Amino acid sequence: MGLMDKLNNDANLTRSSQPMKQRKEDEGRGQLLLDSIEEHGVPDNVILLTENAYRRGGRQIGASLVGAVFGSMFFLLPIGLMIVSLFGDAFVLVPCLGIFGIPFFWFGSRLAGPAFQNLTNPDPLEDVVEMLWYDSRHRFLAGIEHTSDAETGQEYYPELSYGIYLKDGDEIAILYDTPSEGGMTNGDRRVCLWDPQSELESYVVLNLQWFGYYEEEEARERARFFARKLRLRFEHEENEITGWNMEVVNPGGGFLITRGSP
């Protein structure tokens, strides 16, 4: 049995065009789809939704120097205070400053460690193309990553980043983050696969595409595109804070500060 037959007939993998009430885990369909595309071409029921090319790895001198300098400062501050205490005959303060400096050492290592690693032994420079495929027969999304050596052009066998089944209740939504006062942050908009019935910390299942905050109509056009291709509703366009399931993240309903995006 060839890959195409296995992809379409495997009894262990759901074969239904109807939405599922519970999200099924990828039990191998993503890898089967990847192998089928590579060996036989794209099946008739599979379409490419997004394609994103970028370069990763290599020596990031600017960012690494900033991380190394700031990380080292967190190390030097408590160490400097301990040295001053020794010269000032305040020996009793040294162990106290050592305990006080633990969070400084921890945070400094989180900044300086990766920075020095990038400067001395950077990851190989790679060209990456991320593709999001949709299998309409099984209502299945597969993120596949194509990587090649940026210097030699050698292509590696693609890798499956994730495989996600759609389920009953899934929607397309736009979440936006407004620019901060003073222009410290520019804000953004993201079109995402949204599960309002989720019992996880976030209602966001998958970020589909990112836009600048002022690219409002462009984001809506892509949201309508995804909704049409995936046969899902597009109704939500809200602040990114609504992406959090507060009943899970903050069940007590108290004051909560969130950082980052779900």
Note the pLDDT of residue 134. 97
- Phi and psi angles of residue 36, each rounded to the nearest 5 degrees, phi first: -65, -45
Domain ranges for the chain: 25-56+125-165, 61-120, 171-249
Note the pLDDT of residue 112. 77
Q: Show pLDDT as tens, one digit a residue, over the chain (262 residues).
A: 455 455 555 434 444 444 456 788 888 999 999 999 999 999 999 999 999 999 887 777 777 777 777 777 777 777 777 777 667 666 666 677 667 767 777 777 777 788 777 777 877 888 999 999 999 999 999 999 999 988 888 999 999 999 999 998 999 999 999 988 766 788 999 999 999 988 888 999 999 999 999 999 999 999 999 999 999 999 889 988 888 887 887 776 654 444 444 3
pLDDT, tens digit, for every residue of 105-145? 777 777 778 877 777 787 788 899 999 999 999 999 999 99
Note the pLDDT of residue 194. 94
Pick the closest to residue 203 from 171, 226, 231, 225 (CA basis): 171
> Is residue 129 within 8 Å of residue 156, measured between CB atoms?
no
Note the pLDDT of residue 13. 44
Handedness of CA 233, 237, 238, 239 (dihedral sign): positive
Q: How far apart are CA 142 and CA 129, in angstroms?
A: 14
Q: How far apart are CA 200 and CA 207, in angstroms?
A: 16
Beta-carbon contacts of 252 under 8 Å, excluding residues fewer than 6 positions away, are none
The two three-digit tokens of residue 20, written as one number: 């599922």
